[in-house]
Amino acid sequence: MMDNRPRRLDEILSACGSALSRKLTSSAAEIYVDLPAANAPAASAYLRSAGCRHVAVFAEDRVAEDSHDYIYYVFEHPDDCRYLVLRAAIDLDDTAFPSMAAEVPALNWQEREIQDWFGLEALGHPNPRRVALHDNWPDVHPLRKDFSIDTVLPPFEGEQHVYRPTLGEGVFQIPVGPVHAGIIEPGHFSFAVAGEPILYLQLRMFYVHKGIEKRFEQLTADRAVFLAESVSGDSSFSHGTAFCQALERIGGVEVPEPAHRMRTILLELERIYNHVADIGAIVTDVGFVIANAHASRLREEILRINEELTGSRLLRSVVCPGGVRRPWDRDHVSNTLAALTPFEREFNELVDMIQSSDSTRDRLERTGILNPDQARDLGIIGVAGRASGHDRDVRRDHPYAAYDSLEIQVPVYQEGDVLRRMQVRIDEVRESLQLIRAAESGLASGPHRVSMPPLPADQYALGSVEGWRGEILYWVRTAANNRIARCRVKDPSLNNWPAVVEAVQGNIVPDFPVINKSFSLSYSGTDR
C-alpha cells in the first residue's frame, strides 16, 4: 500500500537542483538531506512554497564524534508519506544557527530550546529570551555531552522573568498560577485585561522540566521505553509506540501483523478515554456538570477495558520494541471489546444531551476562535488544527501500526471555536470505535512480538504517532551497547501552546478556562 502513495518530495527535491541534492539516506519513511546551515532558511522557504509543512527543528551534539553540532529540520508534504529531514552542520568555532522563527512562528519555542540546551544562538530570533531553562539557572547547557547528568549546580539567583508591561487607562494584569486550584500541573498565565476582555496573554511553561531528553542518553533502548511512556502520563501508549517505532526502524525489524493490530486497538482506546474525559471537562467548565458525570463514567468503562486487555488501566508497560509484551487470547479480546457496543450507545446519549443543551452551545460556539490562517502560521496540529481547517492526521498521512490497511475519516472544521474542537473529539471517538472494530475483525493469530536484535550503533530514525492530542514525534540516535545517544521528544503540547495565546484574545476572562480546556495540552509533555 505504501508503495502506491504519491512521492511528491522526490519531485520537489529534484526541482530544486543542486542545493538539496546531498542525500544522506533515504528509506520508506524518511529522507535525509545534508546542507550548509546558512542555506537552511532559503531551503525552508522553498519547501514551504512547494506546499511542505515545517514540522520541527532540533539539535544534536556530535562534537566528540565528528566535531560538529547538527541542526535538524523536519518537513512533511500532504502528498508524501515520508518525512524530509534537512541536516545542517554547525562548525566547532561557530556557535550560532540562522533563526526562522520570524517566518515560521511554529519554530519559536523549539529554537529557543536549542539556545537553552545546547548554547547555540538562534541568529535573528525575534524574542530570544530563555524558554526551557528558567532564569534561576546559571548559564549551563544541559544537553551538551560535556554536561554530566549528575552535575550539582550551585545556588544561583537569576533575574526574574520579565513580562511585557501592561499599560493604559483601566488596563490591569491578572497573574494566574503557576500553582492552580484544580489537580493540574503548573504553568503561569499573565493576562492583560481591560475590564473583562483579554487584551493579551503571556505564558510561562517549563516549571516541571525534568531533563527527560538528557535521561534518555543514560538508558538502554529497552529500558528507555518506560521513560518514553512517562513523558505525558495520559498519552503513555502513544509515546511508547512512537519511541518503539523509531527503534524498530533503526533495527530494521518488521513488527508482526497481529502486534500492529493490537497496537492500533490500544492507540484508539487511549484516544477514546482521553477524548471522552475532555468532552466532560469542557462542559464542566461551562457549568454543565451533569454531562461530565456521565462522561467520567464512560471514561471509566474504557479504563476497565484497558485493564482487562492489558492489565494496565492507563496502558503502561504494554508496548515494547518489536510488538507488544503479552499475547492476546482472541476470544477474550472479542468478549472484552463487546463492551464497546453499550459504550457507543451511551456515548451517543451523552452527545445528544450536550448538543440539545442550548445554554451549553451558547457558551461554546464562537468562543476562543483560532482561525485557519492563524492555525497554519503557528503550525497547529492535532485536534485543534483539525478544528481550524488543518487537514492533517499522522494515521492517514504517515501510516504506522495497522492504519495503512484501514480507512480513516478525518473530521475537519473551519470555524476553529471551542464547539468545533469538541466536535472533532466527538467525531473521532466514533471513528475510533469503527477503527477498533475493523482492527479486531482482522486480528489473526500469530506472534505478538519479534525479539529485537541488538541495535546497531550510530543509526538514527524518526517515529511518529497521532496521539489523541496530535502528532507525537520521536527522533532517536543509537549509541554502542544498545544505548541511546540522543532522543528528541516532540509532544503536540509543545507545538500548540501558542494557539491558546491567539485564541483567547478578545474573549472575556471567565471564558479562559473553557478555551484552555478545549486545547487540553499537557504541561509535562511540554516541559519534559
Partner 1 sequence: MIAQIISVIGQTALVLLFSPLITAFSRTIKARLQTRRGPGLFQPYRDLHKLLRKGMVIPETASWIFTATPYVLFATTLLAGLLIPTIATQAPLSLFGGVLAVVYLLALGRFFLALGGLDTGSSFGGLGSSREMTISAIAEPALMLAVFTVALGAGSTNLSSVAQAAVGQSWRFLSPSQMLAFAALFIVLIAETGRIPVDNPATHLELTMIHEAMILEYSGPCLALIEWSASMKQMVLMTLLVNVFFPYGLSADGSPLGMLISVALFVFKLLILALAVVLVETGNAKLRLFRVPELLAVAFVLSALALISTFLFGVHGG
Chain contacts with partner 1 (rule: CB under 8 A): 172-176, 181-182, 195-196, 283, 285-290, 292-294, 297, 357, 359-360, 362-363, 367, 508-513
> Nearer to partner 1 by C-beta: 113 or 511?
511
Q: How many CB atoms lie within 10 A of CB 509?
A: 15
Q: How far is the CB of 287 from partner 1 (least distance, A)?
A: 3
Q: Nearest distance from residue 205's CB to partner 1, in Å? A: 18
Name the DSSP class of 508: B
Q: What is the spatial distance between Cα 128 and Cα 141, in angstroms, rounded to a whole number?
A: 15
CB of 172 to partner 1, least distance (A): 7
Instruction: Measure the CA–CA gap between 421 and 474, rounded to whole angstroms.
Output: 25
Minimum distance, C-beta of residue 81 to partner 1, in the bound complex (Å): 42
**Nearer Cβ to partner 1, position 493 or 516?**
516
Minimum distance from CB of 402 to partner 1 (Å)?
Answer: 36
Strands 323-324 and 83-91: unpaired
Q: Rounded to 5 degrees, what are φ and ψ at 445?
A: -75, 150
342 exposed, middle or buried (CB, 10 Å; 0-12, 13-18, 19+)?
exposed
* Residue (152 or 181) nearer to partner 1, CB: 181
- Residue 293 or residue 480: which is nearer to partner 1 going by CB? 293
241 neighbors 228 (Cβ within 8 angstroms):
no
Question: Which is closer to partner 1, CB of 11 or CB of 300?
Answer: 300
Nearer to partner 1, 178 or 513 (CB): 513
| Cβ–Cβ under 8 Å, residues 407 and 1 | no
The DSSP annotation for 1-31 comes to -GGGS-BHHHHHHHHTGGGG--EEEE-SSEE
Nearest distance in Å: CB 524, partner 1: 20
d(CA 123, CA 478): 30
Distance CA 497, CA 448 (A): 37
Q: How far is the CB of 178 from partner 1 (least distance, A)?
A: 14
118 versus 288: smaller Cβ distance to partner 1 = 288
Q: Which is nearer to partner 1, 15 or 293 (CB)?
A: 293
Q: Which is nearer to partner 1, 151 or 359 (CB)?
A: 359
Nearer to partner 1, 16 or 176 (CB): 176
Nearest distance in Å: CB 330, partner 1: 35
Cβ nearer to partner 1, comparing 49 with 359: 359
Choice between 19 and 174, CB closer to partner 1: 174
CB of 182: closest distance to partner 1 in angstroms? 5
Strands 96-98 and 83-91: unpaired
Q: In terms of DSSP bridges, do strands 53-62 and 484-490 run parallel, antiparallel, or are they unpaired? A: unpaired
Residue whose CB is less far from partner 1, 178 or 327: 178
Rounded to a whole number of angstroms, the minimum distance from the CB of residue 355 to partner 1 is: 12
**Residue 160 in grid coordinates:** 526574574
Q: For residues 508 and 269, is the Cβ–Cβ distance under 8 A?
A: no
Quick one: cell of 76? 512533511
Q: Do 101 and 122 form a contact (C-beta atoms < 8 A)?
A: yes
Radius of gyration of the chain from Cα atoms? 23
Q: Which of 193, 165, 189, 163 is nearest to 177 (CA)?
A: 189
Give 510: exposed, middle or buried? Use CB within 10 Å, 0-12, 13-18, 19+. Answer: exposed
The amino acid occupying position 248 is E
How is 409-455 classified by DSSP, letter by letter?
Answer: -----SS-SHHHHHHHHHHHHHHHHHHHHHHHHT--SS-SB-PPPPP
Contact in structure between 298 and 220 (CB atoms under 8 Å): no
Q: Please give the Cα distance from 289 to 294 (Å, whole number).
A: 9
Residue 363 CB, shortest distance to partner 1, in Å, is 5
229 vs 511, beta carbon nearer partner 1: 511
Q: Shortest approach of partner 1 to residue 512 CB, angstroms? A: 5
- Cα angle for residues 198, 203, 204 (degrees, 5° grid): 155
- Shortest distance, CB of residue 418 to partner 1, whole angstroms? 12
Count the Cβ atoms, other than its own, within 10 Å of residue 119.
18
Side chain identity, residue 224: A
- Cα 257 to Cα 379: distance, rounded to the nearest angstrom: 33
CB 497 within 8 A of CB 520: no
Rounded least distance, CB 222 to partner 1, Å: 41
